[in-house]
């Protein structure tokens, strides 16, 4: 293995063969940048810069674009002299300068091998031809082949297609002014966002305080300084191409950065929703950032303990259906202005906390939500109840008619180990054309195939629900 590959000062002289006539645009000339990020690992970047061009043909190297740019979507236009620039050809150079990449470009070419005498410290230089650069280096020095050379290699120049930063190179025909402000817009991968919500339940489980955060992740290979940031919530259709990403993005440790800010502004966009941050922000390369989305206090909420049934036991004899069955714990609230909300909620994860008797907030469950319009309900499953359980059995089953008429009876014992009464929702999905023949408690036909009971269970007590139903299939 080559112990050390040193890119000497020759490589710092960037105006080398093929590049001397380039007009290089860097972040120093950037005037403003806007980034619109979608849910599906997609972003629209609009990068405005000042450039100095000559009349006629120009070679413009637009440095520090995203390493995951989709080059076919790139569009350059002049803001100073609209219509004066014409792109003749463009190339995306994503083969980045590293010691290994430089070595690979020099396979078949000559480099200088510099050795240092271990005693005298004197340096000697030999010419060598690079034969291979896979998993190490193989050199031909005179009539001998050597590997694992101690010392360093000196390269004559940088190949024209090897860049230190992702660069979009455009051949332009300029018929406008020499100094212009241009805008490059393009779609890129490597930028994504999601919504995260934190809710705290009140002591009586009847209200909650809700905070919403947007979590941004940038692995696109570029930094967007003081960007105007917008987010699109919704499922935007994309045509899928079977092609590799234009450049690999190496995973690095990301640093998290929370930005305290006023809630984001929201507006409709076609059939989606657009959220705009009210101040510029920098989205750095290999960074996770959080910005405030919304905040609401005292949102009315309804808690529900749910025993959910199944369809399968209405067509055959089963007997025992379960002992100590778990009940799901749900909370539900409405996304409306009367509840201090009303902003369309992007899909994300809601994490719910509740304070214990010492005043410490404890995690009590989480659930994901889909995009939720205003005035719609948000329903979260937090987990399963510990102290409230159910025993369930089929107490009778009869075949009334071989052509598909059945009659069955059920007993559900609801047990409450808590020191306060609870209300349990029993929901049974009853298949076929059915009718309730008898029931110990009043039920509601919530849908064509659903019967629902609301059963009050006393503290440290139990209640039996029994019913008989006829099904026709």
| pLDDT for 269 | 62
Pairing assessment for the beta strands 207-218 and 224-233 based on DSSP bridges: unpaired
Q: How far is CA 67 from CA 158, 246, 314, in A?
A: 20, 7, 59
| pLDDT for 124 | 86
**By three-state DSSP, how is residue 104 classified?**
helix
Q: How many residues does the chain have?
A: 473
| pLDDT for 5 | 40
Paired with 258 in beta bridges are 290
Within 202-238, strands assigned E span 207-218, 224-233
Nearest alpha-carbon partner for 66 in 246, 251, 243: 246
The sign of the CA dihedral 338, 340, 346, 348 is negative
Q: Give the pLDDT of the chain (473 residues) as one tens digit per residue.
A: 333 344 433 333 333 334 457 888 989 999 999 999 987 789 999 999 999 999 999 999 898 899 899 988 999 999 998 988 899 988 887 666 677 777 777 888 888 888 888 888 788 888 888 888 887 888 888 888 888 766 788 887 777 666 767 888 889 999 988 999 999 999 999 999 999 999 999 999 999 999 999 999 999 989 999 999 998 886 666 666 554 444 433 333 333 333 344 456 666 666 677 888 888 999 999 999 888 888 999 999 999 999 999 999 998 999 999 999 999 999 999 999 999 998 889 889 999 999 999 999 999 999 999 989 889 999 999 999 999 999 999 999 999 988 889 999 999 999 999 999 999 999 999 999 999 999 999 999 999 999 999 999 999 999 999 999 999 98
pTM for the whole thing?
Answer: 0.70
294: left (phi over 0), alpha (psi -120 to 50) or beta: beta
Q: Label residue 140 exposed, middle or buried (CB < 10 Å: 0-12, 13-18, 19+).
A: middle
Tokens of residue 434, six digits: 């059915």
Q: How far is CA 316 from CA 170, 286, 397, 409, 436, in A?
A: 73, 58, 7, 12, 17
Helices (H), 309-427: none
The CATH class that applies to domain 302-333+379-472 reads mainly beta
Are 41 and 216 in contact by the 8 Å Cβ rule? The answer is no
Give me the residue spans of the domains in the chain: 107-154, 302-333+379-472
Paired with 173 in beta bridges are 57, 86
Helices (H), 246-371: none
Q: Which residues contact 14 (CB under 8 A, 6 or more apart)?
A: 158
Nearest alpha-carbon partner for 217 in 294, 290, 292: 290
CA distance 398 to 401: 9
CA distance 99 to 445: 72
């Amino acid at each position: 293995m080559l112990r050390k590959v040193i890119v000497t000062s020759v490589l710092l002289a960037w105006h080398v063969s093929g590049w001397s006539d380039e007009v290089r645009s860097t972040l120093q000339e950037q005037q403003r940048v806007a980034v619109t990020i979608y849910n599906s690992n997609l972003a629209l970047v609009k990068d405005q810069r000042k450039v100095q061009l000559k009349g006629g043909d120009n070679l413009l190297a637009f440095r520090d674009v995203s390493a995951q740019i989709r080059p076919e979507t790139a569009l350059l236009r002049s803001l100073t002299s609209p219509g004066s620039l014409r792109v003749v050809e463009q190339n995306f150079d994503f083969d980045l300068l590293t010691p290994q990449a430089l070595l690979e470009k020099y396979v078949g070419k000559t480099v200088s091998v510099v050795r240092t005498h271990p005693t005298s410290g004197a340096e000697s230089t030999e010419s060598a031809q690079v034969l291979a650069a896979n998993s190490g280096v193989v050199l031909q020095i005179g009539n001998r082949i050597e590997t694992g050379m101690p010392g360093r290699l000196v390269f004559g120049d940088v190949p024209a297609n090897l860049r230190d930063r992702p660069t979009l190179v455009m051949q332009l025909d300029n018929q406008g002014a020499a100094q212009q402000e241009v805008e490059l817009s393009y779609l890129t991968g490597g930028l994504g966002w999601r919504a995260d919500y934190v809710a705290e339940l009140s002591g009586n489980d009847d209200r909650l305080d809700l905070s919403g955060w947007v979590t941004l992740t940038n692995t696109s290979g570029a930094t967007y300084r003081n960007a105007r940031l917008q987010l699109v919530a919704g499922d935007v259709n994309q045509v899928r191409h079977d092609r590799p990403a234009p450049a690999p993005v190496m995973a690095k440790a990301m640093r998290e950065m929370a930005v305290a800010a006023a809630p984001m502004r929201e507006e409709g966009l076609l059939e989606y929703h657009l959220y705009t941050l009210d101040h510029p922000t920098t989205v750095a390369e290999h960074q996770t950032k959080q910005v405030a989305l919304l905040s609401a206090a005292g949102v009315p909420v309804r808690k529900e303990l749910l025993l959910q049934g199944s369809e399968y036991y209405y067509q055959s004899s089963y007997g025992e259906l379960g002992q100590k069955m778990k009940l799901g714990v749900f909370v539900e609230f409405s996304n409306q202005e009367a509840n201090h909300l009303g902003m369309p909620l992007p899909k994300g994860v809601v994490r719910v906390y509740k304070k214990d008797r010492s005043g410490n907030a404890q995690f009590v469950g989480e659930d994901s939500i889909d995009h939720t319009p205003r005035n719609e309900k948000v329903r979260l499953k937090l987990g399963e109840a510990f102290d409230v359980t159910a025993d369930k059995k089929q107490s009778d089953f009869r075949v009334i008619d071989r052509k598909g008429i059945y009659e069955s009876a059920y007993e559900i014992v609801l047990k409450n180990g808590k020191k306060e009464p609870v209300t349990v929702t029993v929901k049974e999905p009853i298949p076929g054309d059915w009718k309730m023949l008898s029931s110990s408690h009043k039920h509601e036909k919530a849908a064509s195939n659903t019967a629902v009971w609301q059963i009050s269970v006393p503290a440290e007590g139990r209640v039996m629900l029994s019913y008989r139903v006829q099904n026709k299939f």
